[in-house]
Amino acid sequence: MSLGLRGLSVHYGSTVAVSEVDLTVADGEVVALLGPSGCGKSTLLRAVAGLEQPASGVVCWDDRDLADVPVHRRGFGLVFQDGQLFPHRDVAGNVAFGLRMARIDREARADRVTELLGLIGLAGYEARAVASLSGGEQQRVALARALAPQPRLLLLDEPLSALDRVLREQLAIDLAALLRTTSTTTLVVTHDHDEAFTLADRVAVMDEGRLLQIGPPDEVWRSPASPAVAAFLGCTTLLPAEISAGVARCTLGAVRLPGGGDQPAGDVLLGLRSTALAVDAAGELTGTVVQRVHRHDHVRLLVELPAAYRGGGLVGADGDGRVEAVAQVADAPSPGDRVRLALRAEGVAVVAGVSV
C-alpha cells in the first residue's frame, strides 16, 4: 500500500517542470512537498493523480506502474486550494458524491456522511447549502468529500492557502489529526514551512523540479542538506563554525546545538534564521539597535555590530555588519540602545554535507 515515484520527469514543451524525482510514500504516511513557487510541486502531484503524463520515469502503486490507469481508476482523492464544491448540492450531497459514484447504498452513505462530518467538526451540517459556509468550513467539506470513499492515497494541493493565517494554522492542526485518525496515506503540496512541518511525517524540499532533501521535519529543519535548502527554510545568514563537544562556535558567539552530543566535531556551515540571535544580558556580542518592529508575540530588531564585523561577507548577505535579532515584547530595546546578543539553538541550523 505505498506510492513510488522512480526517476519521474514531467516536461511542458521545453520547460522541465519535474526532473528525475525518486520518492516513496509509505502506507499511512503523510509526506509534504515543500518548495518555492514554480518549483514543480503541483506538476508532480498532478502526475501522481494521472493528470499529467511523465516524460520519463514511472508512478507506481505497490510497485505496479500506473501509466495505463486513468485518473478515475487510481483510487486517489484530490483536494485543491479552492475545494471546488458542487454549488447546487448541500453539504451531505457533496460529501456523499464519491459514495454515490461507488454505488454505496443510501443508508450506508448517510452513516458515512454523519461520521465524516463528525470527524471534520461539522456535525449536523448535512442540509446546509455550501454557499452559506465560511471558507474554512468549505475546505473541511472538500476534505470530507475526498476522504469519504476511503481513497488509498489523498493528494492535497495547497489545501489551506486560500484561508487567513489564524484559520490556516488551526485547520493545519485539525487536518494533521484527521489524517492520523483515518491513517490516510497523503501527499500534500505547500509552499508554507509551518504547514508542511505541522502536517508531515516527512518533508520533501523541491527546487527547480528536483528533490533536494527528504526527511523528518526536525531533521530537515535542523540539518538542511545544502545552502539552497537552508536559504529556503529561512536561514538568512550562513557562517563558518566549529563544533566541539556539541557546541558550535562562530564569529557571532557560541551555541549548544540540540542533540549536541550527536554532532560530530569539526568545521561546518551554520545557518542562522532571523530568530537565531536574541537580546540576552549574558550575550557575548554587543551592538546598537537601528530598527524595531513589533510582531505578534515578540519584537524583531535590526542591530548594528561593531566595525570589526563589517565586510568580509561574514555577517548577512551583504556584509553590512547588521544582524536580525529578537527581543521579548515586555523589555524590548529602542533604536539607539546598546544591547547584548546571544545565539539561540532554535534559530540555528547546521548545513549538512558542507565542509568549510
* 35 touches ligand ATP by CB under 6 A: yes
Query: At its nearest, how many Å lie between ligand ATP and the CB of residue 42?
Result: 3
Residue selected from 38, 215, 227, 240 as contacting ligand ATP according to rule CB under 6 A: 38
Name residues whose C-beta falls within 8 Å of residue 73's C-beta, 6 or more positions apart in sequence: none
> Could you say which of 31, 34, 43, 351 contacts ligand ATP (CB under 6 A)?
43
Contact 236, 245 (CB under 8 A): no
**142 vs 350, beta carbon nearer ligand ATP:** 142
Number of residues lying near ligand ATP (CB under 6 A) = 12
Place of cell 508531515: 200
Sheet with 153-157: list strands edge to edge. Answer: 76-79, 153-157, 186-190, 30-34, 202-207, 210-215
State how far the Cα of 209 lies from the Cα of 199, in Å rounded to an integer. 22
54 is an interface residue for ligand ATP by CB under 6 A:
no
Taking CA atoms, 62 is separated from 65, 112, 129, 240, in Å, by 9, 27, 39, 44
Our CB check for ligand ATP shows the closer of 42 and 139 to be 42
Residue pair 111/96 in contact by the 8 Å Cβ criterion: no
Q: Is 347 in the site for ligand ATP (CB under 6 A)?
A: no
Candidate residues 40, 54, 98, 321; the one interacting with ligand ATP per rule CB under 6 A: 40
Task: Give the torsion sign (CA, 69, 72, 76, 78).
Answer: positive
Among 12, 124, 170, 346, binds ligand ATP (CB under 6 A): 12
Q: Which of 1, 7, 15, 165 binds ligand ATP (CB under 6 A)?
A: 15
Q: Specify the stretch interacting with ligand ATP by CB under 6 A; choose among 33-41, 102-110, 164-172, 194-202.
A: 33-41
Which span sits near ligand ATP by CB under 6 A: 23-31, 40-48, 69-77, 303-311? Answer: 40-48
Minimum distance from CB of 38 to ligand ATP (Å)? 4
Q: Are 44 and 18 in contact (CB under 8 A)?
A: yes
Name the residue nearer to ligand ATP (CB basis): 24 or 81: 81
CA neighbours closer than 13 Å in the CB half-sphere of residue 136:
16
Q: Is 222 in the site for ligand ATP (CB under 6 A)?
A: no
Q: What is the 3-state secondary structure (H, E, C) of 307-349?
A: HHHCCCCCCCCCCCCEEEEEECCCCCCCCCCEEEEEECHHHEE
* Separation of alpha carbons 174 and 73, rounded Å: 29
Give me the least distance between CB of 155 and ligand ATP, in Å please.
13
Between residue 147 and residue 206, which ones bind ligand ATP under the rule CB under 6 A?
191
Interface residues toward ligand ATP, by CB under 6 A: 12, 15, 17, 35, 37-43, 191
